[in-house]
């Protein structure tokens, strides 16, 4: 039996936990996966917490910390010792957190320091803004501490991989909110109490709005500008008021004079019912913007950007950062013309997928975790004593290959079964590359050297570097360039001017193995060697050291083709 402590703090987390717990009980009825629910009390209004536990069938929290609202750092600071005490008492197999709230990052910090595996649902979301979006700080920290980053979308998965997360730490499971939407949709009519009819509204003739994020509430001027814009919309705008916003408006003495209708917070089924009947949704909530998409309703987000670019690109969400007339106009006119796409947020079974991913991760548990881009600690190249390392070792290996009938060629010449093309990726030291090139030329070995054009160790177009690159070519070796995107063509032309001939091409067809495995391989072979391994100065294994690629590893088998790999390196 696996026991998790699940930490909740606000509405989106409550509704995700509702469907996850329900699906786990259905899929693992014998209790193989159980939860201990901790409610931090970050949102203390009954309509933003208790009502969700009641309506959605969530078991009452096992612990309620009753913290209430407050400044971000104060909240997190108060949560940490309380969460520590809960985790030490419960001794769970893991901690499960959702989204990007203060409760989420506090639980992540507590779990990490107590060495309890952390699982983050809705990981990888980014808007790359932090000053007015403290949620971004929370989600980045939580992702970094998570044993498993459980993503809702392909975009979030790509973000994390691009940021250097080990692939085994990132699992796309889909969005639990879509799971809940699929389950709850048939139940809306029988469970909703705050309906358009009860509010005196006609279906399709009103807008539903929510405003609560710091970007829109950090200043009184911004909040009032947004509300004034909604108040000026020609059709009625229903806005369930967040408790913090309600207090701000009370202090400001602001009241709606036009179309805006402020109501108390509502339950989940009420939200779905109001969404079904609205013409358009206006929200700064990432959760409600997705629920609008699931409901097939257009959404306007009054922020500089949306966390859900997939919906923007699908034509169902419009970002309007300007308050006043632009926001009013967007609410009145934005209507999608593209069909509603399917599958962006999974298959409606995210809860089961994430449960299976957690069970698998715990069954294969490595106490050090996979914090490095190359994977777990045992997979990271370890430092070695290189004080006595010399070229003699490499010379012996090259001579052994020749004695075994291997012929050394450049990449462009690689074709026969006995061929070995030595590929050297020069990212750290041109001096080491030249020394290696001289050794190989002395032995009658020709190789292909790829120069890192945009690295940090040297400038390949300085006068000194050009002389070293020219020396590589003079020794009879082929020379190519490593660069990103369009820079590949530009740097290729510069290299051609330097060596006086076209640069060496990459090759996509040959297998790649470490030099100690070349003798056991059949067919043409490319061996990738780092010249710095055979040079003088040690380098950190976390930066580059010992990245001789091994053909027997699964990781290598997943490498892109060389033509693609060269362009992205």
Q: 474 pLDDT exceeds 90?
A: yes
Span 389-411, pLDDT tens digits? 567 777 887 888 888 888 898 88
Residue 405 sits in the same domain as residue 544: yes
pLDDT in tens, 521-544: 667 777 777 676 665 444 444 333
- Write out pLDDT tens, residues 47-104: 555 665 677 777 788 999 988 878 889 999 999 999 999 999 999 999 999 999 999 9
Q: Is the dihedral of CA 320, 324, 330, 331 positive or negative?
A: positive
Residue 194 tokens, joined: 């705050």
Identify whether residues 358 and 325 lie together within a single domain.
no
What are the structure tokens assigned to 315, written together?
A: 């034509």
Tens digit of each residue's pLDDT (9 = 90 or more) over 309-348: 889 988 999 999 999 999 999 999 999 998 999 899 999 9
Please give the Cα distance from 146 to 357 (Å, whole number): 13
Domain with residue 254: its CATH number is 3.40.50.2000
- Residue 445 or residue 51, greater confidence: 445
DSSP line for 456-520: SS--TTSHHHHHHHHHHHHTT-EEEEE--TTHHHHHHHHHHHHHTSPPPPP-SSS-B--HHHHTT
* pLDDT of residue 219 exceeding 50: yes
In the block, which residue shows the tokens 């990103």? Answer: 484
**Predicted model pTM:** 0.68
Q: In 3D, which of 530, 569, 515, 548 has the Cα closest to residue 429?
A: 530
Question: What is the rounded distance in angstroms from the CA atom of residue 253 to the CA atom of residue 220?
Answer: 11
Q: What is the mean pLDDT of the chain?
A: 84
Distance (Å, whole) CA 176 – CA 174: 7
Q: Quick check: is 183 in a domain?
A: no
End-to-end CA distance of the chain: 44
Residue 115 and residue 39 share a domain: yes
DSSP per position, 305-316:
S-S-HHHHHTTS
Whether residue 115 lies in the annotated active site = no
Tokens 């020394």 appear where? Answer: 435
Range in 236-245, 444-453, 499-508, 518-527 with the lowest mean pLDDT: 518-527
Q: What span, in angstroms and rounded, lies between the C-alpha atoms of 34 and 25?
A: 8
Compute the average pLDDT of residues 212-240. Answer: 93
- The token duo for 127 is 């808007």
How much is the average pLDDT of 212-239? Answer: 93
**Looking at the structure, do residues 142 and 252 belong to the same domain, yes or no?**
no
Residue among 254, 204, 263 nearest 227 (CA)? 254
The larger pLDDT score, comparing residue 192 to residue 535, is at 192
Q: Structural domain of residue 451, as residue ranges?
A: 391-568
Residue 60: per-residue pLDDT? 82
More confident residue, 319 or 511: 319
Do 314 and 407 reside in the same domain of the chain?
Answer: no
Q: Which of 124-138, 181-195, 278-292, 539-553 has the lowest mean pLDDT?
A: 539-553
Q: Return the minimum-mean-pLDDT range out of 121-125, 283-287, 536-540.
A: 536-540
pLDDT band at 370 (very low <50, low <70, confident <90, very high): confident
Residue 14: inside a domain, yes or no?
yes
Residue 121: band (very low, low, confident or very high) from pLDDT cuts 50, 70, 90: very high
Same domain, 212 and 296: yes
User: Residue 458 has what pLDDT?
Assistant: 85
pLDDT band at 129 (very low <50, low <70, confident <90, very high): confident
The helix or strand, by DSSP H or E, that contains position 275, with its residue range, turns out to be helix 268-277
Residue 470 counted as domain residue: yes
pLDDT at 563: 30
Q: Which of 212, 242, 424, 477 is the catalytic position?
A: 212
Q: What is the pLDDT of residue 554?
A: 32
Task: Specify if 400 maps to a domain.
Answer: yes
Separation between Cα atoms, residue 551 and residue 93, nearest integer Å = 36
pLDDT in tens, 140-155: 999 999 999 999 999 8
372 part of a folded domain: no
Provide the CATH number for the domain around residue 399. Answer: 3.20.20
Looking at the 3D structure of the chain, how many domains does it have? 3
Q: Is residue 383 part of a domain?
A: no
DSSP 332: H
- Using the predicted structure, report yes or no on whether residue 562 has a pLDDT greater than 50: no
In a domain, 254, yes or no: yes
pLDDT at position 444 is 92
Same domain as 556, residue 423 = yes
Residue 341 inside a domain? The answer is: no
How is the beta sheet containing 260-263 ordered, strand by strand? 260-263, 237-240, 207-210, 280-283, 299-301, 317-319
Query: How many other CB atoms are there within 10 angstroms of residue 435's CB atom?
Result: 16
Whether residue 138 is found in the same domain as residue 221: no
At 168, is the secondary structure helix, strand, or coil? helix
User: Do 293 and 209 share a structural domain?
Assistant: yes
* 17 and 158 share one domain: yes
Q: Does residue 192 share a domain with residue 86?
A: no
pLDDT tens, residue by residue, 19-36: 999 999 999 999 999 999
Do 160 and 230 fall within a single domain?
A: no
């Amino acid at each position: 039996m696996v026991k998790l402590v699940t930490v909740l703090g606000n509405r989106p987390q409550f509704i995700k936990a509702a469907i996850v717990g329900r699906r786990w009980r259905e899929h693992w009825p014998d209790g193989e996966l159980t939860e201990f629910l901790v409610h931090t009390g970050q949102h203390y209004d009954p309509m933003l917490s208790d009502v969700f536990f009641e309506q959605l069938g969530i078991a009452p929290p096992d612990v309620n910390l009753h913290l209430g609202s407050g400044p971000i750092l104060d909240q997190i600071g108060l949560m940490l010792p309380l969460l520590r005490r809960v985790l030490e008492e419960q001794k769970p197999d893991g901690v499960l957190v959702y989204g990007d709230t203060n409760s989420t990052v506090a639980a992540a910090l507590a779990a990490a320091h107590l060495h309890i595996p952390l699982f983050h649902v809705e990981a990888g979301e980014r808007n790359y803004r932090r000053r007015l979006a403290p949620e971004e700080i929370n989600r980045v920290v939580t992702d970094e501490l998570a044993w498993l980053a459980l993503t809702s979308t392909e975009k979030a998965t790509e973000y994390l991989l691009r940021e250097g997360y080990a692939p085994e730490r990132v699992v796309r499971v889909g969005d639990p909110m879509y799971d809940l939407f699929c389950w709850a949709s048939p139940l809306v009519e029988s469970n909703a109490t705050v309906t358009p009819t009860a509010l005196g509204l006609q279906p399709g003739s009103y807008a539903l709005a929510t405003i609560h994020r710091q970007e829109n509430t950090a200043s009184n001027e911004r909040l009032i500008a947004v509300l004034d814009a909604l108040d000026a919309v020609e059709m009625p705008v229903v806005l369930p008021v967040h408790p913090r916003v309600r207090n701000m408006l009370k202090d400001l003495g602001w009241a709606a004079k036009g179309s805006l209708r402020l109501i108390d917070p509502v339950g989940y089924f009420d939200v779905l019912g109001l969404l079904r009947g609205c013409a358009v949704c206006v929200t700064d909530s990432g959760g409600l913007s997705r629920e609008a998409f699931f409901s097939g309703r257009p959404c306007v987000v009054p922020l500089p950007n949306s966390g859900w670019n997939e919906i923007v690109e699908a034509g169902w969400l419009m970002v309007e950062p300007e308050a006043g007339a632009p926001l009013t106009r967007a609410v009145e006119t934005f209507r999608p013309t593209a069909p509603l796409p399917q599958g962006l947020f999974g298959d409606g079974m995210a809860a089961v997928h994430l449960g299976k991913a957690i069970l698998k991760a715990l069954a294969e548990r490595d106490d050090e975790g996979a914090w490095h881009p190359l994977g777990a600690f045992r997979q990271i190249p370890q430092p070695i004593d290189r004080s006595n390392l010399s070229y003699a070792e490499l010379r012996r290996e090259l001579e052994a290959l020749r004695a075994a009938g291997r012929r050394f060629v450049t990449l462009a010449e690689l074709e026969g079964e006995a061929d070995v093309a030595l590929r050297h990726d020069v990212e750290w030291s041109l001096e080491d590359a030249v020394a290696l090139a001289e050794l190989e030329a002395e032995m009658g070995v020709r190789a292909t050297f790829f120069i890192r054009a945009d690295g940090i160790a040297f400038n390949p177009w300085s006068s000194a570097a050009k002389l070293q690159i020219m020396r590589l070519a003079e020794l009879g070796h082929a020379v190519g360039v490593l660069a990103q995107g369009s820079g590949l063509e530009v740097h290729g032309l510069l290299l051609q001017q330097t060596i006086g001939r076209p640069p060496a091409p990459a090759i996509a067809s040959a297998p790649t193995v470490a030099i100690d495995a070349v003798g056991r391989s059949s067919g043409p072979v490319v061996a990738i060697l780092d010249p710095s391994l055979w040079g003088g100065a040690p380098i950190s294994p976390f930066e580059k050291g010992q990245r001789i690629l091994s053909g027997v590893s699964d990781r290598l088998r997943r490498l892109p083709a060389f033509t693609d790999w060269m362009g992205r390196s």
